[in-house]
Structure 1
Amino acid sequence: MQLGETAEEACLRELYEETGLQLEIERLAFIHENFFTGQESDFLNKVNCHELSFYFLMKPLTENLSVKSESFGTDGSKEFLKWIPIAEYKNYKAFPTFFADELKNLSVNSQIKRIVTTE
């Protein structure tokens, strides 16, 4: 996020910068707190991390959903983005893992769900 930017603004900006897609946010669906042990990049020390993520339901502004990915991982490797059916989510190494179950039960009228994990 950039200073002064809301979570919604950051989400839309990052989505466009990394995929070329323009979508509209419908609503906040999940708040995810994740506690995990990470690794400092300059030192091989383990650090305790607390990640807070907001997941939004979105809809496209156009029918063309082809992704133009220019995204790279922290190690410099090219990232590949792919649309996958919700029913097949569990077959991929995808995070957060709780989406495999939670997205199948999501409806337009669902309340915002807060999930805490240690992944």
Structure 2
Amino acid sequence: MSSGASQPNNISKVRLQPDPFLNELTNMFERSTEKGSVWVTLKYSSDKSKLQRNKMKTAGEKIEYKCLIRATDGKKTISTLVGQKDHQRFQASYATILKARMTALKKRERKDKRKAADSDKKRGVLKK
């Protein structure tokens, strides 16, 4: 008999502090460079159960909400909680990692402004 505590599909889940989370996220991006994807989700969370939150509300205590960030590559799931005080520093580091690792994205094709204006003029003449 096995208990229901085992993880489905052998996916390991780890809650990390923000800095180790960013390091592990970088490693995930490196492992998935050739093949695979990394999914990152952000969620508003208090990290308390509904029962605990209700007790805190009735007692008049302030509930501190944080940002729960999860990342997975399909094999490993990591997460962290970021409070309001650390959010700007974390967001700046996170943005730097994303800019450095999203190299497979294609650049958007932009029309030359002059060519676009000329083609609009031609269409206007043809429509009349």
Please report the TM-score for the alignment, with normalisation by the length of structure 2. Answer: 0.23
Larger helix proportion, structure 1 or 2?
2
Higher gyration radius (CA): 2
Larger strand proportion, structure 1 or 2?
1
